[in-house]
Structure 1
Amino acid sequence: MTHRLPAWMLRDLSLPRLRRYIRAAQGDARAAQRLYWWNIEVAAALVGSLHCLELALRNALHGALVRHHGRPDWWTVAPLNARGRRLVDDARRACGRRRQRTTPDDMVAELTFGFWTSLLSSGYDRAFWVPVLHVAFPHYRGRRDHLYNDLTSLVLLRNRVMHHEPVHHRHLAADHDTIYRVLGYLSLELAEEARAMDRFPTVLAGRADVLDGARAPQF
């Protein structure tokens, strides 16, 4: 390595985690350190738009399924597959550990981004997409599988961001475009409002300055 990482960084953040950044920086520990901090900065800049997308998706799908089944706890009668039922059971148990009475709103908040995205998978085409869920995307006229692929990619991105994993190697500009494209399918108004507050483009444009040491990362 060209430089050594500070001892406190190895102690507090761990070499196994930092080693991935050292490799990406081709052994230059000082560059790896800057890359690590920029990764946090850019991940933080994605949280707002991912937040809007996840909430808009689950509320749109939940609303459509409530209207279709005529009850707020639609998951008790909907034709979920084994994985879907398991995720519902997991959410119910998690809610039960925190409160005596679980409401449908509690369940909606507890069910994961991955669960909601799974409702658009091919196995649910006839059960969910064709009869009801297509109406949850009023500004989309494309194929279900294209939408599902976009959302699956964003679930992976969201999980990496929320679990503090590297995202610097991804095509982040394309990821960001996908977030707003899918958000626009759900709500043009929310997409416009979120974009006006979004600092991700500035953070992405400043990557080279951070990695060159011309600007300190901020998060």
Structure 2
Amino acid sequence: MLKGYVMVFQLPNWVARLLSVPRFRAYLDATGGDVERAWELYRWNVEVSEAFYGPLHCIEVGLRNAEHRLLTTRYGQADWWYAAPLTKHDTCRVDKAYADLARKGASSPTPDDVVTELGFGFWVSLLNRTYDRHLWVPALHRAFPHYHGRRSSLHDALLSMVLFRNRIMHHEPIHHRDLAADHRKIYRVLNYMEPAITRWLRGFDRVPNVLARRPEEGRR
């Protein structure tokens, strides 16, 4: 800064072209129209979204593998979705997984291929009340050996993680959320499944560090 002059922050020229003005508007609104602080908040939103990848990876992969193992045992076949009383909506999800795999060149997909293709929302849906009698009571409650509460509360917690994960995967703003609470919820559910995984995750989880560097603008 030259003496007697005030430098005015300007966004890089490529921002409007690649990130779009409407997209940046949410950050301007959060910072009272301060362009420089909005730009800092935008960058931090990208950084914290990236940091949540590890915890969300653990909860999604851990849930699907635990449920797949238990349902394979219950129905005596790896493609248990053909034997389980799935709703029409969830059956369509399985059909779509097969179709997507076929488009990717998998002419004879294995059950493991299908498990990987099915989204987080599918696995969480297996914990809703529709499946209480046929899936939760006889099998899926065992995926959470350290949980002693109601199925509905657990389902609601996981459903909120699906919505949170989708916001991140669609590159939407998450800076306005209570991200520390989101982080605690992920760890809480992971502990219900296997406490050892949370100890492993803490060894490289970047979320606490990124949260500590959150710009003041946009803080709840």
Please, what TM-score do these two structures have when normalized by structure 2?
A: 0.91
Query: CA deviation digits over 1:199-218, x for unaligned, max 9?
Result: 11010011137x59xxxxxx
Identity of aligned residues (%): 51
Per the TM alignment, residue 37 of structure 1 is displaced from its structure 2 partner at its CA by: 0.2
Aligned residue number for residue 137 of structure 1: 144
Within a 5 Å distance, the mapping from 1:48-67 to structure 2 comes to 48-67=54-73
1:191 aligns to 2:198 (yes or no) = yes
Name the residue aligned to 1:215: none
Of residues 146, 149, 155, the one that matches 2:153 is 146
Match of 2:23 in 1: 17
Contact 1:3–1:28 (CA<8 Å) still a contact in 2?
A: no
Partners of 2:17 and 2:64 in 1: how far apart?
39
Residue 159 of structure 1 aligns with which residue?
Answer: 166
Post-superposition Cα deviations, 1:110-139, rounded to whole Å, max 9, x if no partner, equal 000000000011111112111111011111
* Preserved contact between residue 61 and residue 133 of structure 1 (Cα < 8 Å): yes
Return the offset for 1:3.
Answer: 5.7
Letter in 2 for 1:100: S
Residue 4 of structure 2 corresponds to which residue in structure 1? none
Give the structure-1-normalised TM-score.
0.92
Q: Which runs of 5+ in 1 are unaligned?
A: 213-219
Deviations 1:152-195 (CA, angstroms, capped at 9, x unpaired): 11101111111111111111000000111111111111111011
Give me the whole-angstrom Cα distance separating, in 2, the residues matched to 1:23 and 1:125: 44
* Runs of at least 5 residues in structure 2 that lack an aligned partner in the other structure: 1-7
CA-CA distance at 1:4 after TM superposition? 4.8
> Aligned residues, how many?
210
Match of 1:204 among 205, 208, 211: 211
Give the whole-Å Cα distance in 1 for the aligned partners of 2:166 and 2:55. Answer: 14
What's the CA shift string for 1:42-81, capped at 9, x where partnerless?
0111001100111000000000000000000000111011
| Contact preservation (8 Å) 2:44, 2:215 | no
What CA RMSD, in Å, does the superposition of the two structures yield over aligned residues?
Answer: 1.5
Identify the residue that residue 184 of structure 2 maps to in structure 1.
177
Specify the structure having the higher radius of gyration (Cα). Answer: 2
Deviation at 1:5, TM superposition (A): 3.1
